[in-house]
Amino acid sequence: MEFTLFPYSFIERKERTKAVFQKFIDGELSFQILNNDIYSPENSQFLDLLYDITAIFKTQLPKMPKDYMYRQIFDIKHKTLVLIEGKKVIGGICYRPFYEKNFVEIVFCAVDNISQVKGYGGFMMDCFKEHTKSEAYFNMSNRKNADSSMDYFLKTLGATAQTFRKKSQDYLNKSYKVRSQSLYFLTYADNTAIGYFEKNGFTTDIKLKNWIGYIKDYDGGTLMQCKVYWEVNYINKDEFVREIKLKALTKLSGQNNFLKVYPGIDPAQFDSISDIPGFENIKTTDYCEGKPHSTTNIHIIMGFLISDLQNNTNAWPFLQPVKTSEAWDYYNIIKRPIDLGTMEKKIQNNLYKTFKEFNDDFKLMISNCFLYNHPSTTFYKCAENLESYYDNRIKFLKFDKTNE
């Protein structure tokens, strides 16, 4: 029997990913790179698709001024990856490349309502990572091989969209050597999008230094960064992970006996579990012997649990501390504020000595939400759903919340 710490959410997510990937293999799902290139013979077709994705951005990003959105999408310096199912645009990422600075700015990113929570958003980001690697590789190679700045300019000028207009499946088996220049994504995410970006490898810990003055700054947004690894094929990442696991198992098989097959035993001569061949080589754990969880195990489980909570669709109001710009009187009413981001930092700094302390903080976070918000609000309902999800997780882990 296969055991995983959080089987339901991960298995469901994996099945969604497999279904989307299979559509890509079957040709039902594809992506295309667009820009407002007036010299392209396909410009009219590009414009139609750009209008389609603009409609999705307008719906999913209602706070963004419409005229500003049009200016960015149709700016010749910007490009847009559109995800297409059949003949319908279902999502897209508008971006501006700064390959000479080794980063890409994500300006807008969204999928339509029907396609959300089905794995399309994550797959779209995987396609985006692979495509930008292709663009960046071309750009870096031309810079390296150009005899002069004018030579480089002419080569780049000749690299129309046709250069990158491969069949989508051409990206499946594409691989690159690890390059000295790393490639990064930068974007400003609002509170509702932070969870999505975190699941796709983004972090608020900004390592890149040369972006200041190049990308657009948004009030109320959180700057996030993602490092793109040359050696990983993101579209086919399941196969990549499978190969890594196979190599690890092959290496471990020469150092351990866990793959050794022992002969069967005669039931008539079986007196105790220690009579099972190979049992004497097994080191039992506290869990097997019915002992309490060790402190190390508790911290590991708290780490997995906080990550699982952050990825829950109801967690978005609780990912970061409440901003006074959004709720000016919050800290006048709530005297002991807490959020999932703060809890994560406390885990990382080993500030939780028992699971009870972790549990108390989570319950305090929910109580704070109930105290500040009216039961009819979205925040209140998110708190109810997240608490129910948390309690089910605790039951699954069989924790005694009062003692550990």
> What was the pLDDT predicted at 167?
55
What strands lie across the sheet with 29-34, from one edge to the other? 29-34, 79-85, 88-98, 103-111, 183-189, 222-228
* 64: in domain: yes
- Write out residues in the chain with pLDDT < 70, as ranges: 1-15, 38-43, 140-180, 252-259, 267-275, 278-296, 397-404
Q: Do 111 and 226 fall into the same domain?
A: yes
Q: Residues 315-330: pLDDT tens digits?
A: 999 999 999 998 999 9
324 and 216 housed in the same domain: no
Same-domain pairing of 46 and 192: yes
From CA 119, how far away is CA 15, in angstroms rounded? 9
Pair 122, 17: CB distance under 8 Å: yes
Residue 106: what pLDDT?
A: 95
In a domain, 24, yes or no: yes
Give domain status of residue 288, yes or no: no
201 and 54 in one domain? yes
In a domain, 60, yes or no: yes
Q: What is the pLDDT of residue 288?
A: 47
Residue 59 sits in a domain whose CATH number is 3.40.630.30
Instruction: Please check whether residues 307 and 204 belong to one and the same domain.
Output: no
Contact in structure between 123 and 17 (CB atoms under 8 Å): yes
Q: Which two tokens stand for residue 400?
A: 């005694």
Residues recognised as catalytic: 105
pLDDT at 91: 94
CATH number assigned to the domain comprising residue 303: 1.20.920.10
215 within a domain of the structure (yes/no) = yes
Q: Both 214 and 317 in a single domain?
A: no
Pair 221, 94 in one domain: yes
Could you list the residue range(s) of the whole structural domain that residue 80 is in?
20-140+179-230
Q: Are residues 215 and 69 in the same domain?
A: yes
116 falls within a domain: yes
164 is a domain residue = no
> 44-85, pLDDT tens digit by residue?
778 889 999 999 999 999 888 999 999 999 999 999 999 999
Is 98 found in the same domain as 212? yes
Instruction: Give the DSSP letter of residue 127.
Output: H
* Residue 117 shares a structural domain with residue 41: yes
pLDDT at position 26: 86
Residues making up the chain, counted from first to last: 404
Supply the DSSP symbol for 216: P
- The whole-number pLDDT of residue 14 equals 63
Is 2 within the bounds of a domain? Answer: no
- The total domain count for the chain is 2
